Amino acid sequence: MRDIGIGIIGGGYMGKAHSVAMSAVGAVFQTTLRPRLEMICATTAESAERYRAAYGFARATADWRALVADPNVEAVVIASPQTTHRAVAEAALARGKPVFCEKPLGASLADAQAMVAAAEASGVPNMVGFNYVRTPATQFARKLLAEGAIGRVAWFRGEHTEVFLADPALPATWRTRGVANGVMGDLSPHMINCALALMGPVERLSAMVETVHMTRAGPDGPEAVTNDDHAQIMCRFAGGAMGHLYFSRAATGRKMGYAYEIHGTKGAIRFDQEDQNALWLYRAEGPEAERGFRKILTGPDHPDYLPFCQGPGHGTGYQDQIIIEAKDFLTAIESGQPVWPTFRDGLAVWEVVDAALRSAPDGRWVTVAGG
């Protein structure tokens, strides 16, 4: 057992989540590598020091370059805005330091391509933070599909819908400015990653991308919203199945609508993140009068559940998904072997996003690069 110095860039929502995860992962999973909270970086010295004291880091800085260059920082977690991802990752990888980058992988397809090139040239472990596919329920769904439990899959429906910008009276913020912060840059990558994990590559698609609330109150009067509120994609997966994906940050009543439904020739699967400790499974067998979806409550027999709790039905939560990610990142570092999802998997998500944005102006069907 040895420790490893962790540097985290960003101390906000996700910076806190990753700090807590790195603090807990050794105890939860009994990892051989034990994270040492070495340094945290924020936009100002004052905020960095505040995060350092709150999360338990040894040191703080307002300069991400200093964090990346520090010899006691042996692995880097990027939890800062998308526009910073590429520069930080390239600098860390050039120094041979493993990098975990929050989704999406950079702010554009070009960013993602450059980050993959840097990662693969360095040969060091790299991962992207798609935490929702880490729930025991979705990991189990992936296992069922791989085993052919519902036969040949014919159709996939996925959504990532939230309510946080449904109210037109909410003022303009950073979320309403810039393509990278719109629903296609912010929410869609999670469900696209899920679809790729469960169904395989997308071959071609047709998309619609729209802004629901065109203006919002700004500091100097009405301000134009410069990104998208919701979008939908019809697609054909390379395996032959049809698919439909929908994303919205203006979905009234939807708190955390990360959900999917999959139809096969012998059964079906349903999942909803608002009930994340349950998976619904239908098997086309037995008397017709007794058939129906069966609710499976997650427990110790499901992936990555037992380290948190011995009791079935007790459940895991959002923070636990981040701890599972931390365990996988440490496994990649210790073994020297890639652990899904790598930067290349993050690029695959951007290729779907890029294809959707190319399709959206007229809804034409376009081929997905790498699909």
CATH number at residue 79: 3.40.50.720
Write the DSSP assignment of 197-245 as a string of letters: HHH--EEEEEEEEE-SS-EEEETTEEEE--S-SEEEEEEEETTS-EEEE
- Nearest Cα to Cα of residue 263 among 290, 282, 236, 291: 282
Helices (DSSP H) in the chain: which residue ranges?
A: 13-29, 45-55, 64-69, 82-94, 109-122, 136-146, 183-186, 188-199, 318-335, 343-359
In a domain, 53, yes or no: yes
Q: Which domain holds residue 50?
A: 2-132
Instruction: Please state, in angstroms and rounded to a whole number, the distance separating the CA atoms of residues 370 and 202.
Output: 9
Residues 78, 164 within the same domain: no
Residues 168, 259 within the same domain: yes
The residue out of 101, 132, 163 marking a domain boundary is: 132
Position 310 scores a pLDDT of 96
Tell how strand 278-283 and strand 294-297 pair up: antiparallel
Position 337 scores a pLDDT of 93
Position 223 scores a pLDDT of 96
Instruction: Please state, in angstroms and rounded to a whole number, the distance separating the CA atoms of residues 111 and 105.
Output: 7
Q: How confident is the model at residue 236 (pLDDT cuts 50, 70, 90)?
A: very high
Residues 265, 304 within the same domain: yes
Position 20 scores a pLDDT of 98
In a domain, 31, yes or no: yes
Q: How confident is the model at residue 108 (pLDDT cuts 50, 70, 90)?
A: very high
The residue out of 115, 132, 149 marking a domain boundary is: 132
Residues 153, 70 within the same domain: no
Domains in the chain: how many in total? 2
| Alpha-carbon 220 to chain mean position | 35
Residues 45, 156 within the same domain: no
Region 74-100: what's the mean pLDDT? 97
Residues 170, 56 within the same domain: no
Residue found under tokens 């309510």: 163
pLDDT at position 370 over 90: no
Region 194-214: what's the mean pLDDT? 98
Residues 199, 75 within the same domain: no
Residues 138, 121 within the same domain: no
Region 146-151: what's the mean pLDDT? 97
In a domain, 251, yes or no: yes
User: Residues 158, 193: contact at Cβ < 8 Å?
Assistant: no
pLDDT at position 123 over 90: yes
- The strand pairing partners of 242, in sequence order, are 155, 236
pLDDT in tens, 34-76: 999 999 999 999 999 999 999 999 999 999 999 999 999 999 9
Report the mean per-residue pLDDT for the chain: 97
Instruction: Please state, in angstroms and rounded to a whole number, the distance separating the CA atoms of residues 189 and 2.
Output: 34
In a domain, 324, yes or no: no
Q: How confident is the model at residue 270 (pLDDT cuts 50, 70, 90)?
A: very high
What's the Rg (C-alpha) of the chain?
21
Residues 280, 176 within the same domain: yes
Phi, psi angles (nearest 5°) of residue 321:
-60, -40
Residues 143, 191 within the same domain: yes
Position 1 scores a pLDDT of 80
pLDDT at position 303 over 90: yes
The residue out of 111, 132, 153 marking a domain boundary is: 132
Region 309-326: what's the mean pLDDT? 97
Residues 281, 142 within the same domain: yes
Region 100-112: what's the mean pLDDT? 97
Residues 115, 172 within the same domain: no
